[in-house]
Structure 1
Amino acid sequence: MCFGKGDWRSYEQGIQKEWLVTNGLGGYASSSIIGVNTRKYHGLLIASLSPPVKRTLVLSKVDERLEVQGRTYNLATNHTGGGVTEFGYVHLQRVSLETFPTFIFSFADIFLQKQIFMIYGENTTVILYRISNGISPAVLRLIPLVNCRDFHWTTRRGQINFAREEIPRGVAVRAVPQVPALHLVCSEGGFTGRDDWFYDMFYPEEQNRGLPAREDHYIPGNFTIALAPGEEKTITFIATLEEVFTLDGEALLEMETRRSHELVERAGQRDSFARSLVRAADAFIVHRRSTGAKSIIAGYHWFSDWGRDAMIALPGLTLVTRRYDDAREILLTFARYCKDGLLPNTFPDAGEEPLYNTVDASLWYFQAVWKYLQYTGDHRFVRRNIYPVLREIIDHHIRGTRFNIRVDEDGLLAAGSPGVQLTWMDARVDEWVVTPRHGKPVEINALWYNALCILRELAGRYKDDFPYDDIMVRCKDNFLKKFWYDQGGYLYDVIGPEGGDASLRPNQVIALSLPFTLVDPQRGARILRRVWQELYATYGLRSLSHYDPRYRGVYGGDRRQRDGAYHQGTVWSWLMGPFVTALRRVYNYSPASRLLAARFLAPFREHLREHGVGYISEIFDGNEPVIPRGAIAQAWGVAEVLRAYVEDVLEIKPG
C-alpha cells in the first residue's frame, strides 16, 4: 500500500487516511498519513500501563526541521486553534504502509526517510531515519512534543508539572508518580535541554464529536544531528517507558519485520487480500496482565477488550490465522471471569470489576469454542477447561440469572427490562435506551438454540448427561412460530410483551449463519433477499431499513446524535461475515453463491486504503457515499471479513 502526492493535494484530503501500529499490550502509535494529529487519540507513544488498559499518551509527536545553507525546511504539519500553521506535508513525496509506515520527504537535494514501528511486548516506539544529504552541510533538528495524560482526556499547560533529567544520548521526562519516566534517546548528535511548549494543538475529529478539541504539549528540548556534504546517515530515535533499551534501530526493525512476516506465513494464506487481513488481525490480540493471558482489543483507538466482540472476533483473528495458542488463552481468560453464567461485557479501562451487562457474550462463547474444535480438534483442552463453564452457563440461563435473563415456558430466552440494554445494539444516552430490545431478541434465541446443540454434541462425546432435550425441543418448535413474519418475508427482530417487532434489522442474518440453525433454506432465501434490498450498503449491513421512519443515514455530531444513529441505520462492517456465510449455506454452497460472496467482499480490498489504512473500519454511514466512521480499526470487522473470505470465498475450511 503506497500513497503519493495525489493522496494529499490538500490538507483536508491528507487527513482522511490514518496509520496505526501496535505493541501487543494495548498500546499503539497512530496519526494521519501527512503527520498531523487530528484526534486526541493520536500520538507516537500511547503506552498501556496495565495491559491492555490504562492507556496513556506520553509522546504526541516528533517534529523535524532540516537547516541547510541558511534555509530551514520544516517537515512538520500542525493544526492549532488558528488553523493549519505548519505545512510540512508539501515536502512529503511518498508514503508506504506495507509492514510499518514509512514516509519519504524530498526537498532541495535531500531525501529523508522516516519509518515508525513499535517493539512487541514493550511500551517502546522507534523512529528510524535514513537521510541522503545533498552537497552542503546540514543540521537535522528533532523536536519531541511530550504529554502525560489518559488517552481519553486533553490537557493544557499548568495542569501537569514536567521535570526533565538529561541522560546519555537524550533526556528522561517525569510527570506523575504513577507513570514511569519517558526516555527520549537518539543514536546520533546531541540533546539540548530547554523547557518550552507547543500551544493550542487542535483536533478537528474531536470537535466533530462535540468533545474538547484543544491542548498543549510540553517540549523538553531538541536533538541536533550534523550532516556532512553527501553523507548518508541512519539515525535511531527511541521513545520508551522501559528501563533497558538498545539504540540499534536496524536490528530492532529486522526483529519486528521478521515477527510480522512469520505471523503471515504461519497463517498459510497465499491470497494477497487474506494476507493483508492476517497482518491486520495481529493488532487486536493483546496481553492482559490481570489474567496473565491473551485477550482481544475490540478496536482502535478507544475500545478495550469486550466479551461479545472478543468471542465474535476469535475465529477470524486466531483460528483462520492458525494462532491456536492465543485462542486457548483467550478462551481461558474469559472462562475465568464467567460469573452467574455470564461473560464480561467489558473490562473497564481503570481495571475495576468487569461489567456483565450482556446477554449474548456467553452465547457467542459457545460458537467460539465450537469453531476452535473445528480448527484444532483439541477436545482434551475443552473437556478439561471449558466444558464445565459451558454447562454452568446453560444451567444459570435455565434457572434465571442477572438482568432478568431466563428461559420462558416456550423454551425461548428472554432478557432485560425497560431501561436495560443487553444485546449488541446497546447504545444508551443517559436514561435514553436508543434501541430497546428487551424481551426475546431474534439473534439471542438463535444463539441460545445453537448453544444447546453444541452442549448436546459435547456431552455425547464426553459421555456426560444432557438433561435439556425438552427445552431444546420447545425452543425449536416455537422459534419460527413466534418469529416468522410472513407478511414481510423475514423474522421479527424482537418478541416483546406486545408481540413481534417488525423492524427490519440485520440480527436475523445471524440466525441463518450459525451451524445449528432454526431457519429452513426457503425462508432463509426470502430473508436474505429482503436484507440485500434494504440493508446491504457496500461495506456492511445497515442496522435498520432505510425505509423505516426512524432511519438515521449519517453518523455524526455530539454523543447524543451519534448514539442516536449508531443502531438506527448506521452500517456495520462485521455483519458482512454472517451475511456471506448465511448466503453460502442457504444456497447449499453452489458455485453461483460463491461468486456472489466474492462480489460482496471485494469492496473491502479498496477500503483497506482509506480511513485506518490496512484495517477495516467499525461503521459507515447508511447513506451514500457510505463514508467510514467510528473506530478506524475494529476487531470483529477485520475478523469476520477475513473468516468469511477464507472459509466461504476461498473455501479453505476448518481442519
Structure 2
Amino acid sequence: MTFDATITQDFNQAVSREWLETNNLGGWASSTISGAHSRRYHGLLVAATRPPVDRQVLLSKLDETLIIGGQRHDLGCNQYPGAVQPQGYQYLTQFRRDLFPEFTYEAGGVTLRKTIVALAGENTTLIQYEVLAAEASFTLELLPFLAGRNCHDFRHADDSSQPDFTRTDDVFQIRPQPSSPDLFISVPGATYEPRSLWFYQLEYAVEQERGESTHEDLFSPGSFSLPLDLGATVQILVSTSSPAGRDAAALLAQEQQRRTALLPPNAAPDSLQRILTLAADQFIVRRGADLKTVVAGYHWFTDWGRDTMIALPGLCLTTGRLADARLILQAFAESVSEGMLPNRFPDSGEAPEYNTVDATLWFFVAIYHYRQASGDDEFVRETLLPVLLDILAWHQRGTRFGIHVAEDGLLSAGEEGQQLTWMDAKVEGWVVTPRQGKAVEINALWYNALRIASALAYDFSSPEKGQEMEAQASQVFAAFQPSFWNADLGCLYDCLPPDGLPDASIRPNQLFALSLPFPLLTGERAAQVLAVVEKHLYTPVGLRSLSPEDPRYQPIYEGSLRQRDGAYHQGTVWSWLLGPYVDALLHVYGPDLGRQKARQVLDALTYHLREAGVGTISEIFDGQAPHRPRGCIAQAWSVAEVLRVAVELQTE
C-alpha cells in the first residue's frame, strides 16, 4: 500500500494513519506516517522486557535533519500545544507499507528513503537510510529522544542529572532512566556531539480524544552526524543488547526472508490475504522460554485467553503455522485452573486472572479447528483431552463466579460485580453489561464444547465418556430454543437472568447459535436471526454491539474512560464479528449465494486497511457512520477472523 504526497504532506491525513512493526516478543516500533507521535505508546524501540509483557518505551524517536550546503532541512515532526514543529512531513513524498514501512523524503536535491524494521525474536529495531538522489555530499543528523518508561506511563522533566552516551567503537550505550534497561545504538561512522536538551509538552492527540493525559517531556543527550553521498546506505541498530559486531545488512535480509516465507504463494501484492497474513504475524509472540501466545491488540493489550482462542484459527491455521498453534494451546492448557482458562495475563507479569466464562469454551472450538487442520491426534489425545474432560467436570459441579450447569442442562454464570462474557466493560465498580444467568452465546459455546469433547472421546476409545457428553449436549439442544426464542422479535433473547424477564436486547451474541461448528438453529429461525442482525447491527466494518433502536445505544466511542467503557458494548462496532457473520451467511444461504454475500462483506471492509493502522484492522469503530476507527489500531481477533473467512472463501 502506497500513499503519495496528497496524504503524506497533509498533516491531518498523515497523523491519522499509523504504522506498526512488532518483534514477536510483544514489543514494537510504531508512530504515525507524519512522524509525530499521537499516543504515549508510540516509540522507535518499545521493548518487551519479560516477553510478552512489561513493555518499556526506551527510544521514543530518532528525528532526522539533512544539512545540505549549510542549510538545514528538518525531516522530523512533533506536535505541541497549538503548534507542529518541525514540519518534516512537508518533505515526505511517499509512504509505502509492504514487508516493512518505508518513507521517502525529498529536500534540497536529496532523496532519502528510510525503512524501519523490528527484528523477530529480539528487542531490536533496524533503521535503514538509502540515498536515492543527491547533487553533492551532505550530512545526516540524528537526534534521539529518550523515554525509558513503561509504555502506559508518561515521562516528565525533572531536575536530576541526565545520562550521556558512552561509546565503544560505533556502539553508543545509555540508560535512559535508572529503572530502565540499557539502550544501545549502533551508528556506523557517526560523530557524536553531546548536547543535553529537554523537549517539553509533546502533545499526543489521540490520548486527548480518549480523555487521558496528553503531554510528555522527552530528553535528548546529544546528536549523531553522518556524511553521506549518492548511493550511500546506512543501517542503524537500536537494541537492549549490544549490537557490536553484528551485520545489519544480513539481519535485514534474514527478516525479509522470514516475512516473505509467510506469504501465500501467488497472492497479489494488494490482496486481502497477503496484507492480513503479514498483519497476523504481528500478534504471535513468545511466552516464556519455549511456548507461544497471542497479543490481543496493539498498543496496550497483553495476551487474553478469549481473544487468543478466537484468533487462533485465523492467525495460525489458515496461515499454515500449525507448530505455533500447538505451542499456544499447550501454553493455555498448562494455565487451566479449576476448569477455567485465564482471562488475561497482566502486563507486569502478575498471576493470571480467571474472570471469564467464555475463554474456556472457546478453547474447545480452537482445539476442534486445530485437529481438523493438523491431524495431530496424539497431542490432542494425550495432552489436551484430559484437560477438556477436567474442564467439563468442573463446570458440571460448579466453579468460580457461579459458573455451573443448571437443571435444564444450560450453562449459567455470573455474580454481582463481575463481568464474565466478552462484553466485559467495567469501570469504577460499574459493570456495564453484567449479563448474569444464561447468556445466549455462552450456551451455544457450551453445546459446542460438549459435542466436540464427545466426538474426541468416541474417537479416542472412550465410548462411555462420549455417550455421556452426547446426552448432555442433547439436553442443551432440547432446552435451547424453548428457552431463548423471542417470538415477538423473531430472534433470540440475549440473556436469561436468574430472576426476572429475559433480556430482549438485540445484540450480535445470538449469531453464535448459527456460526459455530455445531449450530443450534437451522432453517427459518436461523434466517430470521440473521435478518434481525443484518437490519440492526451490520455495518461495513463490523457489527454493532447493540441495536440503534435501543434507548441505551451509544453511537460514539470517545471521552473519559467511563464514557468510553459505557459505549464499548452499547453500540460500538466490533470488526471481529464479521467472521461469525460470514459463517452465518454461509449457514443460511448455502455455498453459492452465501459466498456471494460474504465476498460483498469483505469488499466493503477493504477501505479500512488504508486508515488508522495501515495494513491491519482496528479493534472497534463508532456505531454511527462514518464509523470512525477507535481503540487499538491492530486487534488480533479482528485480523484473524477476517483473514480466516477470506481464505475459506478463496479455497472452498
TM-score exceeds 0.5: yes
Question: Corresponding residue for 1:609?
Answer: 610
Cα 1:84–1:450 change in 2 (3 A) is same
**Residue 200 (structure 1) aligned with residue 201 (structure 2):** yes
Whichever residue aligns with residue 191 of structure 1, its letter is Y
Deviation for aligned residue 1:302: 0.5
Q: Secondary structure at the match of 1:259?
A: helix
Residues 64-103 of structure 1 aligned to structure 2 (within 5 Å): 64-103=64-103
CA contact (8 A) 2:622 2:629 kept: yes
Secondary structure class of the residue paired with 1:468: helix
Residue 45 and residue 116 in structure 1: after superposition, are their counterparts in 2 closer, same or farther (change >3 A)?
A: same
Query: Structure 1 counterpart of 2:443, which letter?
Result: N
Measure the CA separation in 2 of the matches of 1:388 and 1:602.
42
SS at match of 1:353: coil
Kept in 2: contact 1:267–1:278 (CA 8 A): no
What is the rounded CA distance, in whole Å, between the counterparts of 2:103 and 2:605 in structure 1?
24
Q: State which of 441, 444, 454 in structure 1 corresponds to 2:442.
A: 444
User: 1:450: Cα distance to partner?
Assistant: 0.4
CA RMSD after TM alignment: 1.7
Q: Secondary structure at the match of 1:26?
A: coil
Contact 1:236-1:247 within 8 A present in 2 as well: no
The separation in 2 between residues aligned to 1:431 and 1:344, in whole angstroms, is 21
Task: State the partner residue of 1:295.
Answer: 293
Identify the residue that residue 325 of structure 1 maps to in structure 2.
323
Helix, strand or coil at the partner of 1:163: coil
- Contact 1:541/1:571 (CA < 8 Å) preserved in 2? yes
Residue 123 of structure 1 corresponds to which residue in structure 2? 123
- Cα separation, 1, equivalents of 2:210 and 2:507: 26
Answer whether contact 2:191 2:225 (CA < 8 A) is retained.
Answer: yes
Pair 1:518–1:270, CA change in 2 (3 A): farther
Q: Where does 1:352-391 land on structure 2 (aligned, <5 Å)? A: 352-391=350-389
Q: Secondary structure at the match of 1:608?
A: helix
Cα distance in 2 for partners of 1:246, 1:45 equals 20
Deviation of 1:170 after TM superposition, in Å, equals 4.1
Paired position in structure 2 for 1:252: 251
State which of 535, 540, 554 in structure 1 corresponds to 2:537.
535
Aligned partners of 1:193 and 1:220 also within 8 Å: yes
Deviation at 1:264, TM superposition (A): 1.1
Distance 1:579 1:433, change over 3 A: same
CA 267–375 in structure 1, closer or farther in 2 if over 3 Å, else same = farther
Separation in 2, partners of 1:125, 1:314: 27
1:645 aligns with 2:631: no
- How far, CA to CA, are the matches of 1:267 and 1:310 in structure 2? 29
TM-score under structure 2 length normalisation: 0.97
Deviations 1:605-636 (A, max 9, x none): 22111110010110011101111111000000
1:545 maps to 547
Look up the equivalent residue of 1:517 and give its one-letter code: P
User: Does the CA-based 8 Å contact 1:340-1:401 persist in structure 2?
Assistant: yes
Write the distance in 2 (CA, Å) between the matches of 1:473 and 1:592: 31
Alignment of 1:384-423 (within 5 A): 384-423=382-421
- Calculate the TM-score normalised by the size of structure 1: 0.96
> Which residue number corresponds to residue 587 of structure 1?
589
Q: How many residues align?
A: 647
Report if the CA contact (8 A) 2:39-2:207 is conserved: yes
Query: What displacement does 1:195 show?
Result: 2.2
Deviation per residue, 1:210-236 (Å, 9 max, x gap): 1111111111211111235xx321111
1:166, 1:193 within 8 Å by CA — same for their partners in 2?
A: no
134-143 vs 563-572, greater mean Cα deviation: 134-143
TM-fit CA distance, 1:473: 2.6
Superposed CA deviations along residues 400-447 of structure 1, whole A, max 9, x for unmatched, are 000000000000000002221100000011111111201000000000
Name the amino acid aligned to 2:336.
C
Shift in Å, 1:189: 2.6
TM-superposed deviation, 1:8: 3.5
Query: Which amino acid in structure 1 is aligned with residue 150 of structure 2?
Result: D
Once the two structures are overlaid, the 10-residue window that deviates more, 9-18 or 552-561, is 9-18
1:221-232 mapped onto 2 (5 Å cutoff): 221-227=222-228, 231-232=230-231
Deviation of 1:132 (Å): 4.0
Q: Distance in 1 between matches of 2:98 and 2:8?
A: 19
Residue 487 (structure 1) shift: 1.0
The correspondence for 1:503, drawn from 479, 502, 505, is 505
CA shift, 1:255, in A, is: 1.0
Using the TM superposition, give the Cα deviation of residue 178 of structure 1 relative to its aligned residue in structure 2, in angstroms.
5.0
* One-letter amino acid matched to 2:271: S
Distance 1:439 1:180 in 2: 47
Which residue number corresponds to residue 41 of structure 1? 41
Partner secondary structure for residue 595 of structure 1: helix
Distance 1:153 1:349 in 2: 13
Give the whole-Å Cα distance in 2 for the aligned partners of 1:469 and 1:498: 31
Distance 1:212 1:631, change over 3 A: same
- Work out the CA distance in 1 between the residues paired with 2:552 and 2:278: 38
Q: Distance in 2 between matches of 1:539 and 1:622?
A: 10
Residue in 1 that maps onto 2:342 = 344
Distance 1:504 1:353, change over 3 A: same
- Cα pair 1:171 1:191 within 8 Å, conserved: no
Give the match's secondary structure for 1:650. Answer: helix
Displacement, 1:244? Answer: 4.1
Quick one: distance in 1 between partners of 2:280 and 2:561?
Answer: 29
Q: 1:332 to 1:246 in 2, by over 3 A?
A: same
Whichever residue aligns with residue 23 of structure 2, its letter is N
TM-aligned CA deviation for residue 603 of structure 1: 2.2
SS of the equivalent of 2:242 reads: coil
Q: Counterpart in 1 of 2:188? A: 187
For the 8 Å contact 1:161–1:175, the answer to whether it is kept is no
Per mean C-alpha deviation after superposition, the further-off stretch among 210-219 and 525-534 is 210-219
* Match for residue 562 of structure 2 among 549, 560, 563: 560
User: What letter is aligned with 1:555?
Assistant: Y
Correspondence 1:61 to 2:61: yes
| Paired residues of 2:9 and 2:89 also in contact (CA < 8 A) | no
Contact preservation (8 Å) 1:406, 1:413: yes
CA shift, 1:47, in A, is: 0.3
C-alpha distance in 1, partners of 2:633/2:160?
A: 29
**Kept after mapping to 2: 8 A contact 1:187/1:247:** no
**CA offset digits 1:527-564 (Å, max 9, x no partner):** 10111011001110000001111101111111011001
Aligned partners of 2:266, 2:640: CA distance in 1, in Å? 13
8 Å contact 1:267–1:321 — kept in the other structure?
A: no
Structure 2: 5+ residue runs without aligned partners? none
Q: Residue 9 of structure 2 contacts residue 92 of structure 2 at CA under 8 Å; is this kept in 1?
A: no
Q: 1:131 to 1:270 in 2, by over 3 A?
A: closer
> Cα–Cα, structure 1 residues 73 and 398, in superposed 2: closer, same or farther, change >3 Å?
same
Question: C-alpha separation between the residues in 1 aligned to 2:140 and 2:469?
Answer: 72
Q: Which amino acid aligns with 1:361?
A: A
Q: Is the 8 A contact 2:8 2:95 kept in 1?
A: no
* Partner residue in 2 for 1:488: 489
* Structure 1 residues 247 and 127, CA gap change in structure 2 (3 angstroms): farther
C-alpha change, 1:29 and 1:270, in structure 2 (3 Å) is: closer
Contact 1:28 1:45 in 2 (8 A): yes
**Letter in structure 1 aligned against 2:298:** Y
Q: How big is the shift at 1:469?
A: 4.1
3-state SS of 1:500 partner: coil
Whole-Å separation in 2 of the counterparts to 1:29 and 1:325: 26
Give, as a single letter, the amino acid of the residue that structure 2 aligns with 1:204: A
Q: 1:276 maps to what in 2?
A: 275
Larger mean Cα displacement after TM superposition, 250-259 or 533-542:
250-259
Which residue does 1:461 correspond to in 2?
459
Question: Structure 1 residues 644 and 134, CA, compared in 2 at 3 Å: closer, same or farther?
Answer: closer
Instruction: Give 1:645 deviation, angstroms.
Output: 1.4
Alignment check: 8 A CA contact 1:128 1:249 kept: no
Q: Return the offset for 1:177.
A: 5.5
